[in-house]
Structure 1
Amino acid sequence: MDASMMAGLDGLPEEDKAKMASMIDQLQLRDSLRMYNSLVERCFVDCVDSFTRKSLQKQEETCVMRCAEKFLKHTMRVGMRFAELNQNAPTQD
Structure 2
Amino acid sequence: MVQYYCPYCNPKYQFQKQSSNGTLICGLCGEDLVKKPFIRLNQIIALVAASSLLLPLIYTFIYLIKNQINPPNKNYQANSTLMIIIKETLS
* TM-score, normalised with respect to structure 1: 0.33
Q: Which structure features the higher share of strand residues?
A: 2
Q: Which has the larger radius of gyration?
A: 2
Q: Which structure features the higher share of helix residues?
A: 1
